[in-house]
Each structure stands twice: as C-alpha cells, then as structure tokens.
Structure 1
Amino acid sequence: MSNLFPTYARWDVTPVSAKGAWLTDKNGKTYLDFTTGISVCNLGHVPDHVKQAVNDQLEKFWHTSNLFQIELQEEVAKQLTAASGLDLVFFANSGAEANEAAIKLARKATGRSKIITFVDSFHGRTFGTMAATGQEKIKTGFGPMLEKFEYVPFNDLEALKEALDTETAAVMFEVIQGEGGLNAGNPEFLRQTEEWAHKNGSLIIVDEVQTGIGRTGKPFAFQHIGLDPDIVSSAKGIASGLPLGAIIGKKELAEAFSPGSHGSTFGGNPISLAAAKATLETIFDESFLTQVEQKGDKLSSLLAEALSSVPQVKRLKGKGLMIGIELTEEAAPLLSAARQKGLLILTAGTNTIRLLPPLNVTEKEIEQAAALLIETIKEHACESTTKNG
C-alpha cells in the first residue's frame, strides 16, 4: 500500500539512474527518454557542467532569504532578460507559481480584473492558474473558480474581439498549447491579439513554461512570431530539473511589484539558480539553438516519411523538439507499447503523442527513437485495423 495520494496514474517504471537521454529502472531495463521530465531536463539527465555548478554552490550556502542581496539572482535575471528582450525578473518555484505571479502583476498594474485565456489552454493547478486554464476536466470537483476569467476558442479573432473590453487586464496564452494537444497559435492571430490588447490597454502574458528555454529552437517560442509581450512566464527547462520558475516583464510594470506586494520563501534559491545559470549558458547559445531546429526537422522528417501511409495518423505538429503526432484515436495505449520497446513518450490532449527529447539529443538517438516509435505506431495501426475491420 502506498502512502502517497493517488494523484498520478503512475507507470510501472522505477528509475534508479539516468544520464543524457537514457534512463535505467530498478530491473536494469534501459529506456530512451523522450519525455525529459515533461520538458524539464532540456540538457538530458545529470548534465556534467550543471552538476558541477550545483556542487560548487552546495559548498557555499544553500538558502538565506530574499531579504539578502543574492548575486546569482542578478546573474540569472540578466540571462533571462537578455534572451527575452524584457527587463525585470521575479523568481518563483514552478510554472504555476510563475503564472500566479503574472496574473497578480497584470491585475495590479492595470487596475482591471478580467483575464482572457483560451480553450484547451493549461496554466497550472493552483486555484488561480486552474481558473485560468481552458479545460473543464482540470476544474471538476473543486467548486467555484476564481473570478474573472473568460475563455475563447484558440485562433478565433471574432471571439477574441467580442471578449476584449475595458475590464480586461490581460490576454494570456501559450504559443503552442503543451497539455492541450500541441495546438499552435496562428502567427497572424497572435499578432492581431497583441495589437488589439495593447490598443485596449490590456497586457499580453505569454506562458512559456513548456515552450521556453530553447524547446522550439528559440530562447522563447514567441520569438518565432516577433511578438512584444509584457510578461513571460518560464519554468520547467530553466534549471535542469531543480525547482525554479520565473516571470520576465517590462520595466513599466516595476511599480506594481513594489516591496511587500509579492514574494516567495524559496523562489530564487541559490542551488536552483546555480543550475539555471549553467543550463542557460548552454541553451541560449545561438549555435546550440540552431542545432535544436535542425534536430527537430530531422525527427519530424523521419516520422512524416514513415507514417504518411498509416491511416490512423492524421498529422504531425509542433516546432523544434516539441513534436506531436495526432492520431484518429486515443494515444494513451501507444505509450505502454513504446515503453515495452524501451522508449518513453507522452500524450498531449487525448489523441496526440508528444515527443520532448533532450535538446542535446544525438542524431543516432533520434534515429533510434524514430525507429522504435514508427514500429510501435504501425503495429498498433495493424491491430486496430484488424479489430475494426
């Protein structure tokens, strides 16, 4: 009997060690890990230079509080502002906390209360971010939600135009909806959203918790489209698996987050920051990001060519090394089949297989994973056709 609440549908895999793109379970079985902790271990498991940075900080001090001047906070904040084009950073512990901070900041800075988000979005599981999420299944059983959030269909300009009003503090979106099915925002839709919001005196919040930190081949996914957000939230891949989240915002918002307005006991912890500094030094390098795009193109091409004749495969979607395979049926059964072959993958929404390999995955590992996944999908397609046919 477990002493844990049954909040997760856990796999029958118990890790004992992991390195790079590989994970080993307690039975000695090795897996090619294309989940990376759900886009967290962007440099793979236990990257050497990040481990060394953490060890070095462990020898100095672990925690003080945010009443102290912490040099690492300034150093990592400078990395994030330089990469994003924004000005100021607040450190939290997770993506949900970062999004909570973004919502609070937008409301306080504008003096307005309504936040517009999108159907199939996912912003977290705290009461504020759960209310911001455009998926009813996340909210079931928890009673009345925090006001005021309004959800409009993604990529629907008419619905957005109707929802925007003088009470709208911000429009909040993911450039690619990570948990909602890897649905990408149409570039023109997102640009128009930004233009209308700013004309309306509303802020733009871009949730980059899953898409950021190099996952799509840019430091942040909004940069593919040339957006000018007011607030960007970040977490997951920022510190190679140590807990850290952040919002990055424009300097005009500084007054709204004056002393005493917001805080976090553990946000910006020196151990996590040491990991973040070493992680970002690698990922924010231009040549590294170019390779992410190239690797994403290679993996997508291998899959597209091999799966084009499989009737259960509708389309490939995503960007960089955030790749989805949309099926005509539920994707969950394929996860177990892939694990049996030694490949760890995820779903996004109900019908989409989600691939989130390490950003420094090798070409050989890409080819191995593609072969295993293609074999899994084709075998399942044959079984499905026989069963229904």
Structure 2
Amino acid sequence: MSGFVHNEKPIRLHRGEGVHLYDEDDTEYLDCGASYACAPLGHSHPDVTAAITDQVERLTFVQASYPVDARDRAHAALEAAAPDGLENVWLCNSGTEANEAALKFARSATGNSKIIATMQGFHGRTMGALATTWNSEYRDPYEPLIGDVEFVPYGDGDALAEAVDDETAAVILEPLQGEGGINLPSEGYLAAAHEHTEAAGAALILDEVQTGMGRTGELWACERAGVTPDILTTAKGLANGLPAGTALCADWIAENHGSHNATFSGGPVVSAAIDATVSTLVEEDIPTNAAEIGGYLAGELDAELGDRVRDVRDEGLMIGIEVKRGANRALRDLALDHGILALPAGRSVVRLLPPLILDEGHADQVVDALTDVLGGRSE
C-alpha cells in the first residue's frame, strides 16, 4: 500500500495496552516513541477509554458555539492545571494549529508582525508555524512563507536580546527542543526571554507541544525555570492519543486576540478525553514518575553506554542519545531485534518518548537493548 504523508514502518500495529504495542501476531513491542509522546497515560487507559465511550454514546459532535458539559469540564481541568495567569483556553486539533493560533494572537494583541524563532526549533508544518520552523528541508518546498521571521541561536540570551525590538510581536521557542535533538537551554535563558519580551511589549510563546503534560517531570517544562509565558501551546499528550491541542493565554492576549475559530475546536468527544487525561495526570501525580524513572533511565544509559555515544541528554522522560553514526540503523535494530520502538531527532539522535507510566523494569529493558545495539557496532 502506497503512502503519501508518512513512510510506513515494517511493523503493522494492531492494539496497545499500557506501555506496550502489539502486531497482528501478538508480538509485543515497548513503546518508546511510536506514539510520539501522545499517550502519556499509556495505550487504552481505562479512564480515558471510559470517558470517550460514554461521550460518543451520548453526543459525538456539535460546534463550539453550543455549550456542552464535556467542553466545560475540559476547560476547567486546563484552567486548574495551567500556570498561574494562563487561564484563557482555546482548544484546537493539533500542535501546529495551536502554534498558528498563538502567532495570530500575538500579532493581533501587539499590532506588530515580527516573529523571532530559534535555530533547530520545530513548531509545525502549516504555513505560519512552518515559517518559524528551522529545518530548511521542511520549509523550502513551500516558500514563500509568511515573512518577518528572524532566527536566532537557541540558548543564546545575548542574540535574543539583540533581536527583540519595538517591532516584535512574539518570540516563539521550545523550553527544551525535541525535534532539534533534545537540546536543553542554557541556565537563565527562558527567564531572559521573558524579560526581553516583556520590556518590548511583545509576547513570549512557549511551545510545549512535546514537553507539556508531564513529559519533563513537571506538568509544564516552564515551571522548572520559574517562567510563565504570555502564551503556552501544548498538544501531543493532551488527550492521550486523540487529536487535540490548546493555546493557554494571558488576559492581555485573550482580550486582543482578533477573530479566530475552528469547526472542530473543543468537540465533545475530544473534550471528554482531555478532561480525563489532564485530571488523571494531576490526580495520580504522573509527572513525578516521569521525573524519577526518566532520571533512572538516563543515568543507567550514561553509565552503560559511556564513550560509545557522544552524549545522553534528558529531562524527565524526554531522552536523546546522540550516537556516533546515523540513528536509523540503531532504531531498526532496536525494533526488529529487541522489540523497542523509538524515533529519531535529527540524523544522529535516538529519541525516547515513552508513556509516562514506564517503570524501572521497562527502563532496564531499554538500557540492555541500547547497550547491545550500540555496543555491537563498530564506531
């Protein structure tokens, strides 16, 4: 079967349960990336499944101008979980759509057009979000994109300070770069970004599409830095596998956001999944498990792999292993020889984004597999 959007993998997945996926022959795979961080509670979580089933049996869809209980509950869960000052919720269907909205909101609220983004950053593939995405392989086929976007080195506070001026609408960046290679910012970088945007009257947009929902060991990665942006976007883990995104906005953004809407914004079934996912993450303190198991896994990888790899970079259960050769062979061997499904971040990084319910036994399985795969290769 031919594919247009994605290159198909040689494993046809049939069902999922917890941290595991299964093919039609019931071969078991440990999900360390196949769900792209979209299943923080694991596959087929009973609370999320029950919420979806109950809602779809009662009301599948009405447009967001009609109030429904499921959307009210999703809003309430997000308002309670959001960083202080970001209680304005706009729901959508994906991370790229959340970032599109954030860029529009920032331009409308400030009256300016200049957007500052970072090298190695990734914010999506629609025309607006794509203009702020660094990788030219993604951008070039679709030029010209929206103009007035300037890229600065990630983590360089001086370069950011120089770029922000009174014509800046927003700075958009990830508190930890995922697609770019699991790159952590320098100490104080997010605080400096907030300081510079506030002084210029611009919006700070933190893209937590991948880092949000407890992935880094806090519900929001910005909490670790003690920084609250003007707009926070998140998506992947928001509805535990259903397509959902959100832009959480400060009052001054919400009051001046202009006209923006989407047909499927906050549909009842997706809203039910958001409510169940966010509530479970908070009530069961899932981010703490991500911090503890992520620290254990990264520590064991660092100890076992040593100089076989260039680096192990991590924050919670967002882990990148920079290998000395291309990552694709390691990913293939992990999947076919060890039953572990991971994904790349750039050309040389093996990226691990497992469900946040991973335990030490699963972590040991990953360490043993990577030690075998990388130790058996001639570097």
Regarding TM over 0.5, the answer is yes
CA contact (8 A) 1:343 1:373 kept: no
Pairwise CA distance, 1:218: 0.9
Pairwise CA distance, 1:286: 6.7
Q: Which amino acid aligns with 1:257?
A: H
CA contact (8 A) 2:71 2:272 kept: no
Secondary structure of 2:35 counterpart: helix
Please name the residue that 1:95 is paired with: 95
Secondary structure of 2:310 counterpart: strand
Aligned length: 376
Q: How does 1:39-118 map to 2 (within 5 A)?
A: 39-84=37-82, 85=84, 86-118=86-118
Please name the residue that 1:344 is paired with: 341
Counterpart CA distance in 2 for 1:321 and 1:295 is 7
Pairwise CA distance, 1:363: 2.0
CA shift in 2, pair 1:92/1:107, >3 Å:
same
Q: How does 1:170-185 map to 2 (within 5 A)?
A: 170-185=170-185
Please name the residue that 2:225 is paired with: 225
CA contact (8 A) 1:213 1:284 kept: no
Q: 5+ residue gaps in structure 1?
A: none
Q: How does 1:229-378 map to 2 (within 5 A)?
A: 229-257=229-257, 261-285=259-283, 287-310=285-308, 313-340=309-336, 341-378=338-375
Counterpart CA distance in 2 for 1:57 and 1:159 is 49
Q: 1:224-268 deviations in whole A, cap 9, x for unaligned?
A: 10002000001010001111110001122222236xx11010111
Q: 1:150-176 deviations in whole A, cap 9, x for unaligned?
A: 100111223212211111001110011
Superposition RMSD on alpha carbons, in Å? 1.4
CA contact (8 A) 1:36 1:358 kept: no
Pairwise CA distance, 1:77: 1.9
Please name the residue that 1:21 is paired with: 19
Secondary structure of 1:239 counterpart: coil
TM-score, normalized by length of structure 1? 0.94
CA contact (8 A) 1:36 1:42 kept: no
Q: 5+ residue gaps in structure 2?
A: none
CA contact (8 A) 1:36 1:44 kept: no
Pairwise CA distance, 1:189: 1.7
CA contact (8 A) 2:34 2:343 kept: no
Q: 1:98-155 deviations in whole A, cap 9, x for unaligned?
A: 0000000000000000110000100000000110112211112212121121100111
1:186 aligns with 2:182: no
Counterpart CA distance in 2 for 1:301 and 1:329 is 22
Pairwise CA distance, 1:17: 1.3
Pairwise CA distance, 1:309: 4.0
Q: Percent identity?
A: 38
Q: Which amino acid aligns with 1:338?
A: L
